[in-house]
Amino acid sequence: MSLRGKIAIVTGASRGIGRGIALQLGEAGAKVYITGRDPKNKKVDPSLPTLENTAQEIKQRGGEGIFVYVDHADDAQVKALFEKVEKENNGQLDILVNNAFAAAEAPSEEKFKNFWETEPYVWDSYNNVGLRSHYVASVYAARRFVKNNRGGLIINVSSFGGAQYFLHVAYGVGKAAVDRLAADTAHELKPYKVAVVSLWPGLVKTEFTRREVENENSSIENKGKFRKLFEQAETTEYAGKAVVALATDPKVLDKTGKILITADLGKEYGFKDIDGRDIIINPKKWDEPF
């Protein structure tokens, strides 16, 4: 329970990597506020885990998970989230994980084509909730961190797509911007001892990457390679272990502004994936783009 007494927010935590991060933060003792859209306001796929499920599982692991319905496309809802967290914790906030991402759930045929073959709105689907949303949440977190003057940590979940072509032009450009958001917010927040990093998981076994692998009609290019990488992919909680390692590192400020790869952090801090594996895929060393 190395994070007992800490207050964390994880955006987009009903499934995928956000869920894995929330579970690990909760297990480590943090009080974790988790966000996702109100299922009443969106079409719910009953086969997917829900935000409430994540909160329940945190509880089962002995932690405290508080779910708050927030649509990260709506700035007013994000502002209200931060007001709620501050009110309920006497202004305390320690960790923000910017993870919400709207594009994974879009149909395969809308995502993996050449950019001119998709409609321009695809840009928003990748980068409204997934980039702009991270900027908005960072504004509110930073205001609180600066006011408290007790340091803080912001982790932007990004991807090696920020450095090389992957899936769609709008994906890669968005990820490069998420990385830059970490670098530039880190620059302004360093005097306040707030660390900001960009976290690159390798390929992760999420509900949607599994679907893509199992979908015979998927329009993802280079399916053979994708399937092979999927077999060796990380669980969603490996990124969670990386977040806990960073949040408990007294020297985390030395890393501020940087891009950090989950597998490198596993090696540095000595953690394994939850199934006991060492993760060896280093996405920076993938030999060819998709």
Ligand X SMILES: NC(=O)c1ccc[n+]([C@@H]2O[C@H](COP(=O)([O-])OP(=O)(O)OC[C@H]3O[C@@H](n4cnc5c(N)ncnc54)[C@H](O)[C@@H]3O)[C@@H](O)[C@H]2O)c1
Residues involved in catalysis: 171
* Longest CA–CA separation in the chain, Å: 53
Distance CA 212, CA 290 (A): 14
**Quick one: 130 or 266, whose CB is closer to ligand X?**
130
Q: What is the DSSP annotation of 61-74? A: TT-EEEEEE--TT-
Q: Is 12 in the site for ligand X (CB under 6 A)?
A: yes
Q: Is 201 in the site for ligand X (CB under 6 A)?
A: yes
**Quick one: 205 or 255, whose CB is closer to ligand X?**
205
Q: 69 and 14 in contact (C-beta within 8 Å)?
A: no
**Quick one: 73 or 253, whose CB is closer to ligand X?**
73
Q: Is 52 in the site for ligand X (CB under 6 A)?
A: no
Q: Is 186 in the site for ligand X (CB under 6 A)?
A: no
Distance CA 104, CA 206 (A): 10
Q: Is 16 in the site for ligand X (CB under 6 A)?
A: yes
Single out the segment in contact with ligand X by CB under 6 A; choices: 21-29, 136-144, 145-153, 205-213. Answer: 205-213
> Contact with ligand X (CB under 6 A): which of 159, 185, 235, 256?
159
Distance CA 178, CA 42 (A): 26
- Shortest distance, position 285 Cβ to ligand X, whole Å: 15
Distance set, CA 247 to CA 49, 90, 101, 105, 114 (Å) = 26, 21, 22, 29, 39
Distance CA 129, CA 8 (A): 19
Q: Is 13 in the site for ligand X (CB under 6 A)?
A: yes
Q: Is 105 in the site for ligand X (CB under 6 A)?
A: yes
**71-110 residues labelled b (16+ CB within 10 A) or e (exposed):** bbbeeebbeebbeebbeeeeeebbbbbbbbbbbbbeeeee
Q: Is 14 in the site for ligand X (CB under 6 A)?
A: yes
**Quick one: 235 or 256, whose CB is closer to ligand X?**
235
Q: Is 273 in the site for ligand X (CB under 6 A)?
A: no
DSSP annotation of 285 reads G
* Closest-approach residue to ligand X (CB): 16
> Contact with ligand X (CB under 6 A): which of 73, 169, 183, 253?
73
| Contacts with ligand X, residue ranges (CB under 6 A) | 12-18, 35-37, 70-73, 99-102, 104-105, 129-130, 157, 159, 201, 203-204, 206-209
